[in-house]
Structure 1
Amino acid sequence: MNDALKPVPEPTLSDVAALAGVSRAIASRALSAQPRPVSADKRERVLRAAETLGFRPNPLARGLASKTVNLVAILVNHIHDLSDLDLFDLLLAEIQAIGKQVIFIRVGDGEHAETLLRDSVAYHVDAALVFSDFADAATVRRMFRNNAVLMLNGHQDACAPSVTMDEDQGIRAAVADAAAKGVRSALLLTGRTMSLVEQARIGYYRAALARHGIALLGELAGDYSYASGRALARQIDVDATGAVFCTSDAMAMGVLDAHRQHFPQHRPQRFRLYGFDNISLTQFDAYPISSIGADRRDYVAQIVRILSDPAHLVQGCGQVLVATRFVPRLTG
């Protein structure tokens, strides 16, 4: 082969160390994304040598040496709900801030969940964050061959830490708000009723409505999406219903758009409307929906705190509840 056509060998960490006049171990510490002890002078020499040579650290090689890959798997059903966008944008930023990267594994509607989870064993990750309600802690540990599993879907066990929201608190406040405004009947629009989190949420609504003597006219199941909320809106008897509670803001947005005539200047004329998740869009003029939600920054901070502590992550410590609150807006 013509020498001009031969591939130029990639510079190695040893090349960088030799040019900087330091040991390979010091060069590795200087280039690490984690704060590791090395003098300012040596760090500067190493960074200058790396730039001169065009050296880029190899995360895989670093992971093989340290037995970590700084990679976190996030298991989701799908990402189409507006609340997902608000949450995952923040979560990715905070995970990257601690020197890790993320892969998403989309389980879908559950029909092929077992196959997808089984295939996930091909990924070597330091930890798995489980949002999908089709996955339990034991299955995820087995599939990834890793005990570092954080549950966020209600399927935790004694061996897995979890972060969940105290939804009862916010729901009680929202229903109390409706009762104080004279509501005596209500309709509940739900998401996937097979979800443990959703089942608990529905139970909280039933209990809160009964506590205030508000008749529950019915429960209509959707899938948290705007489209399902808009479709279910056709079943609302506006003459008999005092309030509509939706278990996602996206569904409440669909209801609001389907019944704009009953919300002049966004204020309720026939029935009051409450959402859930307190997504960012409810803070804008188009969808001023009364909602329930947790402080996302607190929620994400609790996730990252456990993720950053391997001992807590693998020993089942850290069963954390994050408070929710009611946020009144015009539609309520």
Structure 2
Amino acid sequence: MTGRAGPRPFGGVERATAQQVADAAGVSISAVSRTFTKHASVSPRMRARVLAAAEALGYRPNQLARSLMTGRTELVGLVSTHFANPAFMDVFDLFTRELQRRGLRPLIANLSEDGHAAAALDMMLQYNVDAVLIATSAPPEGFAASCARAGLPVVHVFGRAGTDAPVPVVTVDNVAGGRLAAQAMLARGLRRLAFLGGAPSDASSIDRAAGFAQELAGAGLQPVAVDYAGDYSHEHGRRAMHALLDAHRPDAVFCGDDILALGALDACRERSVRVPEEIGVVGFDDMKLAAWPGYSLTTIRQPMAEMVRHAIGEIAARLADPAHELRSRLFEIALVERGSL
């Protein structure tokens, strides 16, 4: 058999090629390429002819082939450790929607298990991602710095703010969030107060506990307990709340995360402990489940949608202009009062 093979059929239909679009539009193949390349120079008239031909033929540009020519894949590594936390499913929805809106695509990596950090970075380098978004308060030690050393633009969302951060951080003042939770409890005359965090090494848990204790110290008090459930999950929160009720029976508990707080509320139901009459519970995040009538959780809100948009906006600006300096930003938190305090 002689001659070149045509486009590979799929389901009996051949994929249109750029050359076919060029022939149909009466233009060069380079004009087709420029039409589908961001910021490329092409006249409005020629663009209209190419787009009309592409629409008629059902043509879609081959992004993999284009990345070989441009050196850009439009891939952004999205890495986290919180895939088991329902709150972060909402966060990932925000990330993926905003990335796709900007013509970017996420390459997701799970850093939950020990040893996955090196493999995740290797995967992102193999796929030649254009940038990395770290979406966790507790990435493996040195991971952000390793991404930066590899020459990748990096923004850390939900990280710890500070001058020693190896990459720009988009976050909230977690210490202030802990103080705000304590203020709400003290204002109601509650005095036996406890903190329940996730992992003891998690920066956000540490900072929220610190702010909580600082505010109590100003009132001449100290927490009756500062406990760490080990993970941000409903089951960890439920079990840890049972332990707090057995050992301390506090007036109120500040949970460093909404999903912990929901587990704590369910533990109270199992013990027939009335909320908020016998014990108060405050969370952190303001995830969608917190507002459900069955929970009606009082919580500290961090504006996740705004944080995600800012982080992706910074990455998009850097990709459009390599001279753009990625900026950190500290967002404000707020108390959302519902029925659990």
Contact 1:189 1:219 (C-alpha < 8 Å) held by counterparts = yes
Does residue 60 of structure 1 match 2:64? Answer: yes
* Corresponding residue number in structure 2 for 1:262: 273
CA distance 1:231–1:163, change in 2 (3 Å): same
Larger displacement relative to structure 2 (91-100 or 51-60)? 51-60
State how far apart, in whole Å, the 1-side matches of 2:323 and 2:225 are.
Answer: 42
Does residue 26 of structure 1 match 2:31? Answer: yes
RMSD: 2.8
Map 1:178-189 to 2 at 5 A. Answer: 178-189=185-196
Q: 1:117 aligns with which of 114, 121, 124?
A: 121
State how far apart, in whole Å, the 2-side matches of 1:186 and 1:194 are.
Answer: 22
State how far apart, in whole Å, the 1-side matches of 2:161 and 2:178 are.
Answer: 22
Q: How many residues align?
A: 325
SS, match of residue 236 in structure 1: helix
- Which amino acid counterpart does residue 82 of structure 1 have in structure 2? P
SS, match of residue 109 in structure 1: coil
Deviation at 1:104, TM superposition (A): 0.6
Map 1:163-202 to 2 at 5 A. Answer: 163-202=170-209
State how far apart, in whole Å, the 2-side matches of 1:252 and 1:291 are.
Answer: 9
Deviation at 1:35, TM superposition (A): 6.4
Deviation at 1:315, TM superposition (A): 6.8
1:27-56 deviation digits (Å, cap 9, x = unpaired): 234334x46664554333212322333322
Map 1:151-300 to 2 at 5 A. Answer: 151-152=156-157, 153-154=159-160, 160-222=167-229, 223-237=231-245, 240-260=249-269, 261-263=272-274, 267-300=275-308
- Structure 1 unpaired stretches of 5+: none
Contact 2:252 2:281 (C-alpha < 8 Å) held by counterparts = yes
- Structure 2 unpaired stretches of 5+: none
- Which amino acid counterpart does residue 245 of structure 1 have in structure 2? F
* Corresponding residue number in structure 2 for 1:303: 311
CA distance 1:112–1:28, change in 2 (3 Å): closer
Q: 2:336 aligns with which of 310, 315, 327?
A: 327
SS, match of residue 132 in structure 2: strand
Contact 2:155 2:326 (C-alpha < 8 Å) held by counterparts = no
Does residue 131 of structure 1 match 2:131? Answer: no
Compute the TM-score of the two structures, normalised by the length of structure 2: 0.85
* Corresponding residue number in structure 2 for 1:106: 110
- Which amino acid counterpart does residue 212 of structure 2 have in structure 1? Y
- Which amino acid counterpart does residue 104 of structure 1 have in structure 2? I
Q: 1:79 aligns with which of 55, 79, 83?
A: 83
Deviation at 1:199, TM superposition (A): 2.1
- Which amino acid counterpart does residue 20 of structure 1 have in structure 2? A
Deviation at 1:160, TM superposition (A): 2.5
State how far apart, in whole Å, the 1-side matches of 2:41 and 2:21 are.
Answer: 18
CA distance 1:292–1:314, change in 2 (3 Å): farther
State how far apart, in whole Å, the 1-side matches of 2:188 and 2:331 are.
Answer: 28
State how far apart, in whole Å, the 1-side matches of 2:166 and 2:282 are.
Answer: 36
Deviation at 1:328, TM superposition (A): 1.0
Contact 2:78 2:134 (C-alpha < 8 Å) held by counterparts = yes
CA distance 1:214–1:158, change in 2 (3 Å): closer
State how far apart, in whole Å, the 1-side matches of 2:224 and 2:243 are.
Answer: 11
SS, match of residue 72 in structure 2: coil
CA distance 1:106–1:52, change in 2 (3 Å): same
SS, match of residue 245 in structure 2: coil
Contact 1:158 1:316 (C-alpha < 8 Å) held by counterparts = no
- Which amino acid counterpart does residue 22 of structure 1 have in structure 2? V
Contact 2:21 2:50 (C-alpha < 8 Å) held by counterparts = yes
Identical counterparts, % of pairs: 29
Does residue 44 of structure 1 match 2:48? Answer: yes
CA distance 1:161–1:248, change in 2 (3 Å): same
CA distance 1:118–1:26, change in 2 (3 Å): closer
State how far apart, in whole Å, the 1-side matches of 2:23 and 2:100 are.
Answer: 30
State how far apart, in whole Å, the 1-side matches of 2:312 and 2:322 are.
Answer: 10
Larger displacement relative to structure 2 (203-212 or 270-279)? 203-212
- Which amino acid counterpart does residue 215 of structure 1 have in structure 2? Q
Contact 1:77 1:110 (C-alpha < 8 Å) held by counterparts = no
CA distance 1:19–1:159, change in 2 (3 Å): farther
Larger displacement relative to structure 2 (46-55 or 101-110)? 46-55
Contact 1:176 1:212 (C-alpha < 8 Å) held by counterparts = no
SS, match of residue 77 in structure 2: strand
- Which amino acid counterpart does residue 19 of structure 1 have in structure 2? A
